Homo-oligomer: A and B are copies of this chain.
């Protein structure tokens, strides 16, 4: 067998959960948003998409893609095709400047990608998936060492799946909506790295939902077309909230962060409800979690003058609670009391030792919500703020020597 260089890269990318929500596109083809948004990147130790991309230097074939072991067609003009095209164009620019570089842009690529969280968890995988794709291709094409910034890469990730641009950074990330028609200034920027405020934890309460809600892509454009309140949100609420949220993060001011996070989540669901026909993502269990957090915060505000948890909901019934490390145990104890879990449904990687039979905080209204039956919250994922995409070693590759996925499902 002839020795030859293998051009391959493997990266992971994180999930991010917005605290100022993205809802509405001003361009659907370029994925340009109607407002800026801001998110916290979650740790890849717990949730991540893993992607391997390889240039098929021997192949006369075409680009191919496997998602979770199943081959997916790369549709011409589709989002994956577009991302590949843009990344190749960037590589071509680099190659044009330096003739000694291998012409990687001319080879077809094989791409395999996997999420470590089940679809059943109800977590959107498009942000981490597209971010992993762009991170992997940029590593394969050696773009960062050739002067391509992460924000530039985020511009391409954005075109694959809007909020994917925010997963290109760790820590606290803003997606600036930009003003230009070509979208060149609609990119993600780091507000603060995770080290700035590392004790931010997240509890994802997975809420079962009998019926799948409106897909967000269709839903947000219906809101743009029919909600009178959305315009007010876009023009008069979000710009000031972006400022206040950034300031809260800079100051590590959890109260301000929590207040804005909850208000923004509620307002996002309010504009969904103001849509024709209305869009519902939260259900009775989601609402009960809000009431529980509201009561926890009320008691803590009264006793210690501060908030302990912030809820936020994306386009589904799952709650994400942001909680500072020092409060995780006491918040979890209350959550576990009202939403019982087993070690299977809540395998806490932090071993918090939260005991649901611990007495409720003094002054807490025990009947704020009923104790729910097991399964109302089907699973709890405990994680924390994390870093941006990671480059892994070849031993983590999803592709075998032949450039085909190592383990095909079925």
Contacts and interface: CB of A to CB of B under 8 A. Distances in A.
Contact of A290 (B269, B277, B284): B277
B278 A290 contact: yes
B228 A267 contact: yes
Contacts of A269: 273
A232 B229 CA distance: 7
A270 B278 CA distance: 10
Interface in A210-269: 210-211, 228-229, 232-233, 236-237, 259, 262-263, 266-267, 269
A370 interface: yes
A215 B198 CA distance: 41
A287 interface: yes
A210 B370 contact: yes
Interface in A63-116: none
Interface size classification for chain A = 20 to 34
A274 B264 CA distance: 8
Q: Which of A210, A232, A270 has the most CB of B within 10 A?
A: A270
A280 interface: yes
Interface in A277-326: 277-278, 280, 283-284, 287, 290, 294
A276 interface: yes
Contacts of A275: 266
Q: For chain A, what secondary structure do more than half of its interface residues adopt (helix, strand, loop), or is it mixed? A: helix
A212 to B, nearest CB: 11
Contacts of A237: 228-229
Kindly report how many copies of this chain are found in the complex they form together: 2
Nearest to A370: B210
Interface in A132-177: none
Contacts of A270: 229, 270-271, 273-274
Nearest to A367: B211
Nearest to A276: B263
Nearest to A272: B270
Given A263-B276, A266-B275, A280-B290, 16 more contacts: A228-B233, A228-B237, A229-B233, A229-B237, A232-B232, A259-B276, A266-B274, A267-B274, A269-B273, A270-B270, A270-B271, A270-B273, A277-B290, A280-B287, A283-B284, A284-B284
Nearest to A295: B277
A208 to B, nearest CB: 12
Contacts of A278: 266, 290
Contacts of A294: 277
A20 to B, nearest CB: 14
A211 B266 CA distance: 20
Contacts of A271: 229, 270
A273 B283 contact: no
5 contacts: A211-B369, A228-B236, A228-B267, A267-B274, A277-B290
Contacts of A290: 277-278, 280
B273 A273 contact: yes
Nearest to A235: B232
Q: Which of A232, A283, A290 has the most CB of B within 10 A?
A: A232
Contacts of A228: 232-233, 236-237, 267
Contacts of A267: 228-229, 273-274
Contacts of A210: 370
Nearest to A277: B294
A361 B124 CA distance: 35
Nearest to A280: B287
Contacts of A236: 228, 232
A310 B237 CA distance: 31
A290 B237 CA distance: 29
A228 to B, nearest CB: 5
A262 B275 CA distance: 10
A274 B284 CA distance: 17
